[in-house]
Structure 1
Amino acid sequence: MSVPSTPLTRVCFLLQVRPDRLEAYRERHRAVWPDMLAALHDTGWHNYSLFLRPDGLLVGYFETPSLEAAREGMARREVNSRWQADMAPYFEALDGLAPDEGFLQLEEVFHLD
């Protein structure tokens, strides 16, 4: 995997997985569709990780040259529309937004290289 040459922005976000769907959510992420993985990579989502607390709090982290461009790139991908529709029932409090639009982005206050 090549490392992008442009500076990357670190993005951390929160979502809430429904407590009754935790194991199903884990299972879905053991087999992310190959075309979804390719779309994420191709649109600038790098070093992407998800962390799940037992109560369903999901913490996501990724690096990207541009969050706006990464989101716009995924919005143009058909596979993303299918994935977001498939994943939406796993989450609480999205207020009609897709999970990739409804996450709460956290402010970075410290980073140690």
Structure 2
Amino acid sequence: MIRKAFLMSVYPDKHEEYEKRHNEIWPEMVDELRKHGVNNYSIFLDKETSNLFGYIEVEDEETWSEMDSTEINQKWWAFMEPLMETHSNNRPVSKDLKEVFHMQ
């Protein structure tokens, strides 16, 4: 299993809507994530800074990298675009983090 962590940002006035949309995540989005090797996925919010910390476990990088181009993912990005910083293609602006410690 590959552990990945990343940072994103949600607009300060959109915290509740961001959480609501994730609490009501589309079943077809969850199915697609699983098809692309996701076994564990969490997002945490720092309300003071509006930073999001994402943690995901994937089976392999190649399968995971194909998720971006799926129709449902493109639809999700467009759905989330009004709530957060995104690139011109609606992909969330994110910064990958380097793992420096892990205890099992």
Equivalent of 1:59 in 53, 61, 70: 53
Give ranges in structure 1 of 5+ residues lacking alignment.
1-7
Paired AA for residue 90 in structure 1:
L
Q: How does 1:1-113 map to 2 (within 5 A)?
A: 8-54=1-47, 55-72=49-66, 74-92=67-85, 94-97=86-89, 98-99=91-92, 102-113=93-104
Superposed displacement of residue 56, structure 1: 1.3
The two structures have a TM-score, normalised by structure 2, of 0.89
Which aligned segments of 4 or more residues in structure 1 are displaced greater than 6 angstroms?
none
Percent of counterpart pairs with the same letter?
39
Once residues 96 and 42 of structure 2 are traced to their aligned partners in structure 1, the CA distance between those partners, rounded to angstroms, is 14
Give ranges in structure 2 of 5+ residues lacking alignment.
none
Bigger shift: residues 35-44 or 63-72: 63-72
Once residues 75 and 29 of structure 1 are traced to their aligned partners in structure 2, the CA distance between those partners, rounded to angstroms, is 18
Paired AA for residue 104 in structure 1:
K
Superposed displacement of residue 68, structure 1: 3.8
Superposed displacement of residue 69, structure 1: 2.3
Aligned to 1:3: none
Tell me how large the CA RMSD over aligned residues is: 1.4
Once residues 72 and 87 of structure 2 are traced to their aligned partners in structure 1, the CA distance between those partners, rounded to angstroms, is 22
